[in-house]
Amino acid sequence: MYANIRFKAYLMKAGKMLSYLFTFLPFCLFLSCTQDAYDKGEGKYSLMRADFVEANSNTQKEIDRITTDDGDILSASKPFKVKFVNTPDSVYRCVLYYNKVKDEKNQDVFEPISIGQVACPKIIPLAELDTEMKTDPVKFESAWMSKSGKYINLSLYLMTGTSDDEEAKQTLRIVQDAIVTNPDATQTSYLRIYHDQGGVPEYYSTQVYLSIITPEIHTDSVRIQIPTYKGTVEKAFQINSKR
């Protein structure tokens, strides 16, 4: 069920579809990219925004609307296709780079610059893990909760490189170690990042974003442990969703 697979991640950039083959995870990730030619002044990228969003697909499998983590709902200036959208009338978790502009009715809309899918891995109880727990280190950048409280977002860097071994691939999962009842009768979920380097060389770092869906955490709070090259990092969050 959680077998490692190869996959393609897609970016829609400057109106063109670019595909990249990665061998990291059993789910799709957005890998950060840098914009080499950044226009200054009032150029295309001068007012660019970057947000985590829920992107809605229409009946034609085009993205036509987004809801940002700050709660802003924007329609696309023109519906557009990306290859990871393969189901109509669905919602996809994404990172979106865009310009916020006015349409002919003076309504705020967005012009996409680039978009990538963000993994929302299912939380796996430790007892249901189909392999031994792996805690190969990653580089931790940040963790934060969305304004809506619906997501906990993680920004990590994976060390990677080219390998002659076609079976070499990295795997990331979210594992629940335990649920603990506190002295005040509240409950806390203890989660760990599962990371298997999988034989992939560690030549350079690649940024990876994950979003944990908080309604899937059925406790009052959560503590997340991340294995890093400097030791274990732990982050704690209160959960607003009702049990």
Sign of the CA dihedral with 94 first, then 134, 23, and 160 last:
positive
Q: How confident is the model at residue 31 (pLDDT cuts 50, 70, 90)?
A: very low
Model confidence pLDDT, tens digit, residues 64-93: 999 999 999 999 999 999 999 999 999 999
96 against 12, higher pLDDT: 96
pLDDT of 59 over the 50 cut: yes
The pLDDT value recorded for residue 175 is 98
Q: Take residue 84 and report the two structure tokens written for it.
A: 């990871």
pLDDT of 9 over the 80 cut: no
| Average pLDDT along the chain | 83
Q: Take residue 204 and report the two structure tokens written for it.
A: 């350079």
- Summarize the confidence of residues 204-219 as an average pLDDT: 95
Q: How confident is the model at residue 163 (pLDDT cuts 50, 70, 90)?
A: confident
Model confidence pLDDT, tens digit, residues 93-142: 999 999 999 999 999 999 999 999 999 999 999 999 999 999 999 999 99
The total number of residues written for the chain in this structure: 243
Model confidence pLDDT, tens digit, residues 43-53: 555 679 999 99
The pLDDT value recorded for residue 69 is 96
pLDDT of 28 over the 60 cut: no
Chain mean position to CA 228: 18
Q: How confident is the model at residue 166 (pLDDT cuts 50, 70, 90)?
A: confident
Q: How confident is the model at residue 167 (pLDDT cuts 50, 70, 90)?
A: confident
